[in-house]
Amino acid sequence: MGWIGMLLSMQGISKSFGGVPALRTASLEIAAGEVMALVGQNGAGKSTLIKILTGVYQRDEGAIHFDGRDIDFASPSESQAVGIATIYQEINLAPQRSVAENIYLSREPRRYGFLDRRAMREGAKAVLKTFKLEIDVDLPVAHFNAATRQMVSIARAVTQNARLLIMDEPTSSLDEREVAVLFETIRTLKQNGVAVVFIGHRLDELYAICDRVTIMRDGQTVAVGAMRDTPKMELVRHMLGRELAAFEALSRDTDANAERPIRLALEGAGSGLRVRNVDLSIREGEISGLAGLLGSGRTETARIIFGLDRLERGTMRFDGKLRSYSEPAAAIADGIGLVSEDRKVDGIVPDMSIRENMTLAASKAQQGRDRRSRAPERDRGTLHQGARRQMRLTGPTDQGALRRQSAKGVAGALALHRAPGSHRRRADTRHRYRRKDRDPPSAEEAGR
């Protein structure tokens, strides 16, 4: 009876895929007008728990109560009908449909039996205005960048008059101003009695907007508490499942990097109109942040380093040698990897399994082989284990696994495997990257 007084109560939820447990007696509770943070490492079970709630997956065990009733949704449409709206981490929009059509998809206003496009257009403009976003709502969603598509996805969920709004990494593509606007909207929803489940990894954002926190690890709920009463280090300790003394010792060694050689250096680098006079140096073993508002040139600078755009002005040195990459394959050969902004479109081949994605650029020995041929058993086994270690996978990595794992994790693991000497397979790499001045992706490619 622990669900009494709660808008949502999930207790004892278990789920396995192919005999491998993804959730083990997990729980989640949230009251009306509350913002609940749901945190955990990749693979902790957060997305699986949400997909069970919304009817994407069916639970093996456990009970779910929503608004005082036992529920067992067979499809996402059933959960939407009772007032549960979800913004998934992977932006789920129809790329070739207009912004207005995406916002009102499956809920199109009609007049005399026909679509009322004027009402759709005006309604879309009004809801986007609340997010301080003024764009042409008649243009296809594919015309806009990832941050704008994220805002459109959020706007669509807000217009559904939901009682429970689930946000899976909603700020991943937003700049500081857009995050502030989103938080203002969340506070308004909270005042109107809407419950919000906020899934995220940026701790400062969680402490700024959330009332309570639910922490998951290895498919289980390990801690629940008030956000303001949970110190950051304790939160991270619950997520990792181990003490942080080793990490704290490393963080105190602030002067160690000063003695290390410079790995990458840009001096006066420029390309086109957005990237001008960029100076950047990164030392061996150093983590360097590249910050700025949307349109400031961060992504474009990364594209120059990776060979997606040409270095037109200035110089770039890698390991002390002058470099100006004309294609990504040359950067990869030097040991440079890129986890792209839109991992699903640019970072992976979604119709292939995790193992097949990881072996796209596995080794020099595979050069010249047919693209459809599989890697030798030894290479596949090595990459299979590497993928599991880097992504903390517990489930299968064969065909179809990408539908259950984060594209971000796969793209990141793939980038880590692109180490010096690990491969030189240009043919399978070159076709996944496009230069700005080439033709835009087809409708089928954009849909992926």
The string of pLDDT tens digits covering residues 401-448 is: 454 445 555 556 556 555 544 333 333 333 333 333 334 444 444 444
Spans of all domains in the chain: 8-245, 260-326, 341-448
- Is pLDDT above 70 for 382? no
Tell me, what DSSP letter sits at residue 259? G
Mean pLDDT of 59-88: 91
Give the list of residues 6+ apart from residue 157 with CB closer than 8 angstroms, or none. Answer: 85, 86, 87, 165, 167
Chain center to CA of 375: 28
Q: What angle in degrees, to the nearest 10, is found between the helix axes of 146-158 and 176-191?
A: 10
Mean pLDDT of 326-350: 83
In this predicted model, which residue has the larger pLDDT, 145 or 156?
A: 156
Tell me, what DSSP letter sits at residue 424? -
**Among the listed ranges 122-131, 139-148, 210-219, 380-389, which one has the minimum average pLDDT value?**
380-389
In this predicted model, which residue has the larger pLDDT, 112 or 147?
A: 112
Sequence-ordered alpha helix ranges (H) in 36-167: 46-53, 76-81, 99-103, 117-130, 146-158
Q: Reduced to 3 states, what is the DSSP secondary structure of residue 349? A: coil
pLDDT tens profile 88-146: 777 788 989 999 999 998 888 898 889 899 999 999 999 898 888 889 999 999 898 87
Residue closest to 335 by CA, chosen among 433, 422, 206: 422
Residue closest to 381 by CA, chosen among 361, 403, 397: 397
**Tokens read off for 182:** 């989103």
Tell me, what DSSP letter sits at residue 308? S
pLDDT class of 25 with cuts at 50, 70, 90: very high
pTM summary value: 0.62
The dihedral region occupied by 179, where left means phi > 0, alpha psi between -120 and 50, and beta the remainder, is alpha
Residue closest to 160 by CA, chosen among 93, 85, 213, 222: 85
Q: 121-150 burial, b if ≥16 CB within 10 A, otherwise e?
A: bebbbebbeebebeeebeebbbbbebbbbb
CATH 1.20.140.10 matches 8-245: no
Q: Reduced to 3 states, what is the DSSP secondary structure of residue 181? A: helix
Backbone angles phi, psi at 208, to 5 degrees: -80, -30
